[in-house]
Chains A and B, each alone.
Chain A
Amino acid sequence: DAGITQSPRYKITETGRQVTLMCHQTWSHSYMFWYRQDLGHGLRLIYYSAAADITDKGEVPDGYVVSRSKTENFPLTLESATRSQTSVYFCASSLGTSWETQYFGPGTRLLVL
């Protein structure tokens, strides 16, 4: 049981290119989340999803697109990458709402040149 995985773990891309970061969880958790981690900002929520086909914006959604056609997958797409999107991206999932604890994936380091 792999839990929650992210791919790729490392990615280098160029400004203007489209990039998709994958997140997969094997727990059948309802909620899934995407965060970015930058120095001086901690983790900031980009998007979250309460269930398949239900997504909503977080704190910093601009420049990102998500989809959730299957419960176990929650890909994050940068439609036209910018240098400011260089960051470490974490996917997380939780079983239910409110008090449920979020479990994090290992992270994806993205460098936009």
Chain B
Amino acid sequence: AQTVTQSQPEMSVQEAETVTLSCTYDTSENNYYLFWYKQPPSRQMILVIRQEAYKQQNATENRFSVNFQKAAKSFSLKISDSQLGDTAMYFCAFMKPGGNQFYFGTGTSLTVIP
């Protein structure tokens, strides 16, 4: 079975600074997809960024970027120029093609300090 591990239950960062959230996963698959989701206090799950395993180039979305290390099975999220609205729980997720293999980590609670 696939597992997703987020080893940082809580993190904080000063506004405008950069923070990196870590995620590791375990799988024997070669083709898969990785996601970071944000869950603000409203509890709505919001997609932040996704990465296809077959792509070597790291995905970026504005202030959000990932460091995907396939061999190390690592998928960290970097948030640049942190904003107060970035305060939320962040979940790393692994997905195997087919839709029924979608696993989430336990989350990292990020607080942006003004």
Identify which of residues 20-64 in chain A touch chain B, using a CB-to-CB cut-off of 8 Å. 31, 33, 35, 40-45, 48, 50, 56, 58-59
Residues of B within 8 A of A106 (CB): 42-44
In the complex, the answer to whether A42 meets B98 with C-beta atoms within 8 Å is: no
The stretch among A67-75, A77-85, A94-102 that forms the contact with chain B is: A94-102
Contacts of A97 in B (CB 8 A): 97-99
Residues B102 and A45 in contact, CB atoms below 8 Å apart: yes
Residue tally, chain B, CB below 8 Å to A: 26
Contact B106 A40, beta carbon cutoff 8 Å = yes
Residue of A nearest to B37 (CB): A104
Contact indicator per residue, chain B 47-88, by CB within 8 Å of chain A (1) or not (0): 100101000000000000000000000000000000000000
Bound Cα distance from A24 to B57, whole angstroms:
36
- Whether a CB of chain A sits under 8 angstroms from the CB of B91 is yes
Kindly state whether residue B11 has any CB partner on chain A within 8 Å.
no
Query: Given that A97-B99, A98-B97 are contacting pairs, would A90 and B91 also be in contact in the complex, using a CB cutoff of 8 Å?
Result: no
Contact with A along B14-46 (1 / 0, CB 8 A): 000000000000000000010101000011111
Chain B residues, Cβ within 8 Å of A104 = 37, 44-46
Q: Is the beta-carbon distance between A90 and B45 smaller than 8 angstroms? A: yes
List chain B residues, Cβ under 8 A from A98: 33, 95-99
A99-B33, A103-B47, A107-B43 known; A43-B91 Cβ under 8 A: yes
A111 at the B interface (CB under 8 A): no
Determine if B100 and A45 form an interchain contact, defined as CB atoms under 8 angstroms apart. yes
Beyond A41-B106, A101-B50, whether A48 also contacts B99 by CB under 8 A is yes
Q: Which of B4, B35, B52, B98 has most chain A Cβ within 10 Å?
A: B98
| A35: min CB distance to chain B, Å | 8
CB atoms of B47 and A101 under 8 A apart? yes
Decide if A88 is an interface residue (CB 8 Å cutoff).
yes
Residues of chain A within 8 A of B42, CB atoms compared: 106
How far is it, in angstroms, between the C-alpha of A31 and the C-alpha of B98 when the chains are bound? 10
- Asked whether B91 lies within 8 Å of A42 as measured between CB atoms, the reply is yes
